[in-house]
């Protein structure tokens, strides 16, 4: 049968059979719907869009026709959802060529930001008591040099809650912004000195005072809370999954999630320890999704001015390479939850601790790089 000339019903049958065979062979969740969508080039996975049952039955009952449709080739490939950034392969095997063409490009490095705490709490569910729309975050780590999955890597995430507050920094307000003082303005004598005079001291010496909100400077915690922080260890296929919520926003930054990938460490009774950080990055969300949350509580009570993705001074605009998540959700019922996925391509031997500027050492704003497009009050 010529697939290009096949009638619509036969193409539906082929999609169903290929998806079913792959799901049976490899046992991955959502493979059936995802592969069928990829084969047909559909724009949605509406449950009402079903194949003609007669076509499906005729194909399943005729093994010879099934082989002609490419069913055996589908099983041998071991390939599932490959429409963009997520693919499935045999455990420990190389990433399929379709995924490798995009995913094996080194993922952008970014800054750690001021609100990182090295708790390294080993857990899948990081929500604790935070309200918000559930986000299932499925991440994969692969070696950029070999395009093979990296097993036993520690993947760490942390992010703010629906109103922009980080655990450990709830006393600092949304995004670490210290609330304005209450009460009357301070009284006393006006400051002395000539305001037009140049500053005193050694300009070549190190700056004094606490670090600023942006870059790799670290802010001192205000509490010992741990919500929306955790680490998982990749399985033999390079995957980890987190149960969290869609983050909110705060002044100066688009909605994002921070991440670090640790290699050569060990799992301990209290969490994860040792090794080194080979990747520090951030995950981002499309405007199409985030605008839906502006009228949904508790996000609607967030009074901070939201920075759009194309206004963010840290996101580099490179799509999935720069951390833009592949998002799946029902646009009519977004409160039912969101699935976000991304493959991170890293150099496991490198050290990228996020202390440079966006893009890491040599990137924009990093050592040897050009300044970033705009300063960010917090990262």
Q: pLDDT for 150-175, tens place per residue?
A: 999 999 999 999 999 999 999 876 66
In this predicted structure, what is the pLDDT of residue 271? 84
* CB 346 within 8 Å of CB 182: no
- The predicted pLDDT at position 18 comes to 56
46: nearest Cα among 261, 347, 333? 333
Q: In terms of domains, do 235 and 108 share one?
A: yes
More confident residue, 203 or 379: 379
Residues 135 and 74 in one domain: no
pLDDT of 308 higher than 60: yes
Question: Using 50, 70 and 90 to split pLDDT, how confident is the model at 96?
Answer: low
> Is the pLDDT at 63 greater than 80, yes or no?
no
Cα dist from 279 to 79, 121, 129, 357, 369, whole Å: 27, 18, 29, 13, 18
Of 164, 127, 133, nearest in space to 246 by CA: 133
If one compares 99 and 294, the residue with the highest pLDDT of the two is 294
Q: Stretch 183-211: mean pLDDT, rounded?
A: 42
- 10 pLDDT tier (thresholds 50, 70, 90): low
Residue 104 has a pLDDT of 87
Per-residue pLDDT at 322 exceeds 60: yes
Task: Report if residue 369 sits inside a domain.
Answer: no
CA 377 to chain CA centroid, Å, is: 21
Within-domain flag for 324:
yes
Q: Are residues 31 and 66 in the same domain?
A: yes
SS (HEC) of the chain = CCCCCCCHHHHHHHHHHHHHHHHHHHCCCCHHHHHHHHHHCCCCCCCCCCCCHHHHHHHHHCHHHHHHCCHHHHHHHCCCCCCCCCCCCCCCCCCCHHHHHHHCCCCCCCCCCCCCCCCCCECCECCCCCCCCEEEEEEEEEECCCCCECCCCEEEEECCCCCCCCCCCHHHCHHHCCCCCCCCCCCCCCCCCCCCCCCCCCCCCCCCCCCCCCCCCCCCCCCCCCCCEEEEECCCCCEEEEEEECCCCECCECCEEEEEEEECCEEECCEEECCEEEEEEEEECCHHHHHHHHHCCCHHHCCCCCCCHHHCCCCCCCHHHHCECEEECCCCCHHHCEEEEEEEEECCCCCCCCCCCCCCCCCCCCCCCCCCCCCCCCC
CA 220 to each of CA 114, 130, 169, 243: distance values in angstroms, whole numbers, following the listed order: 8, 22, 8, 27
Q: pLDDT-derived band of residue 339, with 50, 70 and 90 as boundaries?
A: very high
Task: From residue 88, give the alpha-carbon distance in Å to each of 95, 124, 152, 342.
Answer: 8, 21, 17, 12
Say whether both 249 and 338 belong to one domain.
yes
Residues 109 and 66 in one domain: no
Whole-number pLDDT of residue 64: 38
184 pLDDT band, cuts 50/70/90, is: very low
pLDDT band at 178 (very low <50, low <70, confident <90, very high): very low
Q: Tell whether 59 and 124 lie within a shared domain.
A: no
Task: Looking at the structure, tell me whether residues 119 and 69 fall in a common domain.
Answer: no
Per-residue pLDDT, averaged over 138-153, amounts to 97
Give the chain's domain count.
2
Question: Is 188 inside any structural domain?
Answer: no
Residue 238 scores a pLDDT above 60: yes
Q: Name the residue with higher pLDDT: 360 or 240.
A: 240
- Does pLDDT of 351 surpass 70? yes
pLDDT for position 270:
79
What percent of the chain clears pLDDT 70, i.e. is strictly above it? 55
Give domain status of residue 146, yes or no: yes
Give strand pairing partners of 284. 256, 324
Q: What average pLDDT does the segment 300-329 reach?
A: 97
| 274 contacts 266 by C-beta, under 8 angstroms | yes
N-terminal to C-terminal alpha carbon distance within the chain: 56
More confidently predicted of 285 and 100: 285
| More confident call, 188 vs 361 | 188
Looking at the fold, whether 66 and 123 belong to one and the same domain comes out as no
65 vs 303, higher pLDDT: 303
- State whether 259 and 340 are in the same domain: yes
Q: Identify which has the larger pLDDT, 290 or 355.
A: 290
Q: What per-residue confidence (pLDDT) applies to 97?
A: 55
User: Which residue has 């000195």 as its token pair?
Assistant: 193
Q: What is the mean pLDDT of residues 251-271?
A: 94
pTM here?
0.64
List the Cα angle 115/121/125 in 5-degree steps: 95
Domain extent at residue 336:
103-176+212-346
Average pLDDT over residues 125-152: 98
Q: Which residues of 199-229 are buried (b: 16+ CB within 10 A; e: fewer)?
A: eeeeeeeeeeeeeebbbbbebebeeebbbbb
Residue-averaged pLDDT of the chain: 72
Question: Do the domain assignments include residue 203?
Answer: no
Q: Which pLDDT does position 61 carry in this prediction?
A: 39
Which of 62, 78, 94 is at the close of a domain? 78
């Amino acid at each position: 049968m010529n697939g290009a000339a096949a009638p619509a019903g036969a193409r539906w049958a082929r999609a169903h059979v290929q998806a079913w065979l792959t799901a049976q062979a490899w046992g991955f969740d959502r493979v059936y719907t995802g592969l069928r969508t990829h084969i047909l080039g559909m724009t949605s996975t509406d449950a009402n869009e079903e194949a003609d049952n007669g076509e499906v039955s005729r194909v399943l009952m005729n093994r010879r026709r099934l082989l002609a449709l490419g069913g055996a080739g589908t099983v041998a490939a071991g390939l599932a959802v490959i429409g963009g950034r997520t693919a499935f392969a045999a455990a420990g095997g190389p990433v399929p060529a379709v995924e490798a063409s995009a995913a094996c490009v080194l993922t952008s490095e970014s800054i750690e930001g001021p609100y990182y705490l090295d708790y390294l709490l080993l857990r899948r569910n990081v929500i604790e008591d935070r309200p918000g729309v559930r986000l299932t975050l499925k991440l994969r780590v692969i070696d950029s040099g070999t395009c093979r999955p990296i097993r036993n890597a520690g993947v760490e995430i942390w992010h703010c809650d629906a109103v922009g507050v980080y655990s450990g920094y709830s006393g600092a307000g949304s995004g670490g912004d210290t609330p304005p003082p209450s009460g009357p303005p301070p009284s006393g004598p006006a400051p002395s000195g000539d305001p037009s005079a140049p500053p005193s001291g050694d300009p070549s010496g190190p700056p004094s005072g606490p670090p600023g909100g942006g870059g790799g400077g670290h802010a001192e915690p205000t509490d010992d809370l741990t919500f929306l922080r955790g680490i998982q260890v990749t399985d033999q296929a390079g995957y980890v999954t987190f149960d969290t919520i869609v983050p909110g926003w705060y002044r100066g930054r688009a909605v994002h999630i921070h991440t670090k990938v640790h290699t050569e460490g060990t799992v301990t009774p209290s969490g994860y320890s040792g090794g080194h950080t080979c990747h520090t990055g951030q995950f981002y969300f499309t405007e199409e999704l985030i605008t839906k949350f502006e009228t949904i509580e508790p996000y609607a009570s967030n009074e901070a001015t939201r920075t759009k993705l194309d206004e963010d001074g840290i996101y580099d605009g490179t799509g999935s390479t720069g951390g833009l998540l592949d998002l799946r959700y029902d646009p009519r019922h977004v409160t039912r939850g969101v699935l976000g996925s991304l493959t991170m391509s890293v150099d496991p031997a490198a050290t990228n601790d996020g202390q440079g500027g966006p893009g890491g050492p040599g990137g924009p704003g990093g050592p040897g790089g050009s300044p970033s497009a705009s300063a960010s009050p917090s990262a």
